[in-house]
Amino acid sequence: MSVHPGRFAGRKAVVTGAAQGIGLAVARRLAAESADVVLVDRSETVLEEAAALGAAAVLADLETYEGAETAITGALERLDGRIDVLVNNVGGTIWAKPYEHYAPDEIEAEVRRSLFPTLWTTRAVLPHLIARRSGTVVNVSSIATRGIHRIPYSAAKGGVNALTASLAMEAAPYGIRIVAAAAGGTEAPPRRVARGPAPRDDREREWYRRIVDQTVDSTLLKRYGTVAEQAAAICFLASDEASYITGTVLPVGGGDPG
């Protein structure tokens, strides 16, 4: 997909969950559009990807507030003390099964994976953005807020949507925009770091297949999207072209509103 050279010239951006998938596609597009980018992930593969872009990287586990502080502090050090754009991309379903089959610790793990990194990293960067009275936070949500066999993940992404809408109201007086892109089913290269265990038997494979079928059936375009299509929407929301958009969750799911 076409990029817009110079769209982020002079801008400093941080992308979390940037070692692979949508996060890496966003980081690559921001760099191609002239942003100074820091990639954040807890996987060391982020170091290779950042080096390939000529960008900086920070290793941090964003499921903890300490990790989020490490990420933002490290990014500020690498970006000459300024962050203009934060893309909160950490998250993803760990298990795929009907809700009654989730153990309590699995439910907590899903929420820690897909809600808390966005809560923590936004909290860590907010004082900096308020002091500068500018900045944009783009949260990556999901149309799975209305879907089957990943209810804890759906609830976590619902929390991301609520955070986006409510924090936008608080942040607007400081010139800060808070927006989100709700990603639909997305075809991505094979993951170098797995989100969770592979299906163990035919029953678990059937549970996962039903997610895929429901996701496609719920779209108007009857297909999965691409990481490039997701990155294009996220980068639009992060850009000055979206300067009059805040508090909005943009579905990027082929017509599925989520």
Residues designated as active site = 153
- In angstroms, the CA 67 to CA 203 distance is 36
CA 8 vs. chain centroid, Å, equals 19
Residue 168 CA to residue 242 CA, distance in Å, equals 14
From start to end of the chain, where are the E strands? 12-16, 36-41, 56-59, 85-88, 135-142, 176-183, 186-187, 225-226, 249-252
DSSP letter string, 63-87 = TSHHHHHHHHHHHHHHTTT--SEEE
- What is the sign, positive or negative, of the torsion defined by CA atoms of 64, 65, 70, 72? positive
Helix, strand, coil percent values for the chain (each to nearest 5):
50, 15, 35
Token reading at 24: 């890496």
